[in-house]
Amino acid sequence: MTMSSNETTTGKLTDADLRQIYGRYNHLNGMNDYPGQMHAGFTYAMIPALKKIYADNKEKRVEAYTRHMSEYFNVTPYVGGLPLGVVLAMEEQNAQDPDFDTSTITGIKTALMGPLSAIGDTVFHAAVVISMASAGNIAGPILFMLIFNIPQLITRWVTLKSGYRMGTKLLEQAESSGIMEKISYAASVIGLAAIGAMTAFNVNLTTALTIPNAAGGDPTMVQALIDTVCPKILPLCLVLLCYWLIGKKKVNVVPLLLCLLVVGVALSMLGIIA
């Protein structure tokens, strides 16, 4: 049943409030920065709701702004409405309960980021139309609208509204039934498969080294030998190296990109990589 703008959902927020949040939430991925990723967009989307939820408590409202701005958040934007809706419901609980532990809000955001991103990144990709569009086929942008834009806009609204309506019951039921662990495992498998495919298709690294032919014939291409044993092993090694440097050695992304550029040009000039 469709609710009017003046009716509430499960708490203080009306459908009109959720529509305002939805409009802001569409800009979630437009405010990224490296330290916090989507934290600014997430906070921006919540501002109208937080003003209403903490209308009588400025101190808690400012604390909520500060908390969300200082926390890392990164999720596939098209399914980000679910954690956003759940967090809104939890902020309402925080406004009503003086003993509420706000660290649980951070825990919910963190718990949902991984599984949702693994699923969202896999489902919402329309690379199939890129070749059509680049070839001048008018069906490319039309198909893009149909298989990407329209579904993702609908998914944003459905996940936002569902997350707010269900609130913390979503994770409570999932945890009690054990399905959350299964979803997380399945999502991690899907995510790893997607990352592997993206590495194979988007990272291009080959070697130009050759092995001289003792008989005087054409030299043997080292890359051809590598491809017969394990195709795309060099791009995989490069990705794993970057992952190790960022994750284990805490190398900043910008210096790493500059280093890759310099080393890549140097190795190319030396004839080591193609």
User: How far, in Å, CA of 12 to CA of 54, rounded?
Assistant: 10
pTM for this prediction: 0.61
How does pLDDT run across 78-111, given as a tens digit for each residue? 889 999 999 999 899 888 888 888 888 888 888 8
pLDDT of 25 higher than 70: yes
Of the listed ranges 18-22, 201-205, 251-255, the one predicted with least confidence: 201-205
Residue among 42, 35, 123 nearest 75 (CA): 42
Q: What is the mean pLDDT of residues 202-210?
A: 89
- Outline where DSSP puts E strands in 107-265: 210-211, 220-221
pLDDT of 201 higher than 90: no
Integer angstrom CA distances of residue 48 from 14, 44, 85 = 12, 8, 13
C-alpha count within 13 angstroms, C-beta hemisphere, residue 33: 10
pLDDT of residue 85: 92
pLDDT of 160 higher than 90: yes
- Outline where DSSP puts E strands in the chain: 210-211, 220-221
